[in-house]
Amino acid sequence: MYQPEQYGVVLAFMVVSMVCWGSWANTLKLCPKFPFPLFYWDYTIGLVVGALVWAFTLGSMGTSGVPFLEDLGKVGLASIVWAAAGGAVFNVANLLLVAAIDIAGMAVAFPIGIGLALVIGSAGGYLLAPAGNPKLVLGGVVLVAAAIVCDAMAYRQRSGGAGKVQTRGIVVSLIAGALMGTFYPLVTRSMSGPGYIAGPYTIAFLFICGAVISNIPVNLILMKKPVNGSAPLSMSEYFAARPAWHLCGILGGIIWATGGVASFTASRAHSVGSAVSYALGQGATMISAIWGVFIWHEFAGASFKAKMYLAAMFVLFVLGLGALALSPIY
């Protein structure tokens, strides 16, 4: 398999993770009449496709470790359980995050949900596998937390009288973030001893298997009782959807899987560790906010005060991510 160790290459992997995790939700925006639980069936197909593509390419070439299939045959039960559990937790969190996007918009759901996940996931990852300058890691996380507050204030300014929807969107985002913050420490645990330690491409595949399996009961429940308060859904509506919508869902899954593989691979580099890799990947909050504000115009017509909060949010994100990027080398 291919395992980068030079920091410049590892940093590039983390940037890829950040861009992918911050961009996949645009595929949901491309099919606005496709309810998110139905979209999610195609999304999970894309997750599997993406994981397999990278497993049989980068995961089967290079001089580090062993090829994917051989690695998969050697992996121990404990690693399988930890990775699959991480995928299951991620799946529930991601379903709620997609619901939050549907309710509140990307510029709100991603910074609040994923920002909270950054704080929880980074702390858990650092405790399991300490790496990087702790002061810079802590400083970066604090700056990102401040950015989350600024984004929430901007949303309050923008939303005005939509109190019920506003509260629901923020609450769902917070729950999704709390769950999302726990999946990466589980992945970190799956890639640590004792016993045989599987490579990141194998772990990514097992992780996604856990997500897909857990999706069946969880998504069926959300179809019957949608979080956004809409009418119950049926599988007949899924099969009646436009082919382009199905392709958008699959593409969204492939994009996320690409970011996941990049993040897991970067976390195995000796100079980085899981906390920094996960934290930088969660720069997705800034990427998604850029999409939401400048492409989807979610804050069009917002007050000057709301726009100032947004400006502060972007500045704080840049400073926080910069501190995290420098933590492995200072």
Let me know: does 321 contact 140? Beta carbons within 8 Å.
yes
Q: Which two three-digit tokens encode residue 120?
A: 């929880």
Q: What is the pLDDT of residues 249-263, one digit of tens each?
A: 999 999 999 999 999
Banded pLDDT at 17 (limits 50, 70, 90): very high
Read out DSSP for 65-112? S--HHHHHHH--HHHHHHHHHHHHHHHHHHHHHHHHHHHH-HHHHIII
Q: What is the pLDDT of residues 152-209, one digit of tens each?
A: 778 777 766 455 556 888 888 899 999 999 999 999 999 987 788 899 999 999 999 9
Let me know: does 162 contact 22? Beta carbons within 8 Å.
no
Under the phi-then-psi rule, with left for phi > 0, alpha for psi from -120 to 50, and beta for the rest, what region is 76?
Answer: beta
Distance separating alpha carbons of residues 141 and 130, to the nearest angstrom: 15
309, 281, 322: which is closest to 117 by C-alpha? 281
Give the global pTM: 0.90
Distance separating alpha carbons of residues 12 and 305, to the nearest angstrom: 35
Q: Which two three-digit tokens encode residue 129?
A: 């596998």
Helix (H) or strand (E) holding 121, with range, is helix 115-128
What's the pLDDT at 163? 52
Mean pLDDT of 311-329: 91
